[in-house]
Amino acid sequence: MGQSPFLESIRAVLRTRHYSLQTEKTYLLWIKRFILYQNKRHPKDMGEQEVTEFLTHLALERKVTAATQNLALCSIVFMYKHIFDRELTLLDEAVRARKPRRVPTVLTNDEAMSLISVMRPPYSLMFSMLYGCGLRKAELLSLRVKDIDFGGNSVFVFRGKGAKDRVTLLPKALVPDIERQIKKVADIHEKDLIEGEGRTSLPQSLARKYPSAIKALKWQYLFPSKVRCIHPHDGYICRHHIHWSSLAKVLRTAVNEIGIRKHVTAHTFRHSFATQMLLAGTDIRTVQELLGHSDVRTTQIYTHVIGQHQSGAISPLDHK
């Protein structure tokens, strides 16, 4: 199934439409699971009823989260839309997983800075940018040298979540560290060029549109991997960015060293950025734009996090 011509045809469409490698893997996985659940029937012979049954199975038997169920649905909808040119209309009886209302965990400024202080470079800079720029982990890893605008004190985020571009803050405090990091990137790149390499990994569309960019310094990743690898789509030798798992390991070590008992992930630093910006009096619409949220209601969740600070509410135990 994993190498079937049908799944390969979906892979080809995903790549033509420039979906990320991770999205490609995830979509193909859920489409494969849908087909297996329906006893390997071909999707062209199925429709709304079978999709509804699969979603209900995920909710009631697999007990997946709402986010996971929605990801499965998006994968299947993509398949029907782009392979069969068919829009799905789900039946009303589909059981949807309930999405819990959660308030995100955030760090105080002291906690965030304490964690960063015990990290080694370049990870201290990477987490500083997650916290100081409000970046998602994938956005941070995808940054290239060209995306740093020192003159405008800004960071350009190319194809963030939802394939949207945006500009966010470049903290002045990070300028010296970022300049040093770019110098390190330049040294690595120069060594690669001397060894007859020097290519970065580019999406297929950009590699064709800008053939000279593949060896240009400005297109190199800001946080390059220590080793070169084979491009997953085009097969050439290139230098990709640091793997996301490295951030998780460094963060876990820092949390244990500092002794923070909160559940902290890389995304917690983005939550903390939003909270600190609102506490400082930044307009919520501005925070929305910096975070890249399509709907201000997504940003408003952070007003619940800072509830006491924003409303002035005081516990009766703290009354004098």
Active site residues: 136, 161, 267, 270, 293, 302
Largest pairwise CA distance in the chain = 73
> How far is residue 238's CA from residue 236's CA, in Å, rounded to a whole number?
6
> How far is residue 17's CA from residue 8's CA, in Å, rounded to a whole number?
14
Taking CA atoms, 298 is separated from 105, 171, 237, in Å, by: 15, 24, 40
Structure tokens at 103: 């308030």
Q: Let me know if 52 is exposed, middle or buried by CB neighbors in 10 A (0-12, 13-18, 19+).
A: middle
Taking CA atoms, 196 is separated from 42, 213, 227, 240, in Å, by: 47, 16, 15, 16
> How far is residue 260's CA from residue 43's CA, in Å, rounded to a whole number?
48
Handedness of CA 37, 41, 42, 44 (dihedral sign): negative
Handedness of CA 249, 221, 107, 173 (dihedral sign): positive
Contacts of 164 (CB under 8 A, 6+ apart): 292, 294
> How far is residue 238's CA from residue 199's CA, in Å, rounded to a whole number?
5
Q: What's the order of all strands across the beta sheet hosting 154-157?
A: 148-149, 154-157, 166-169
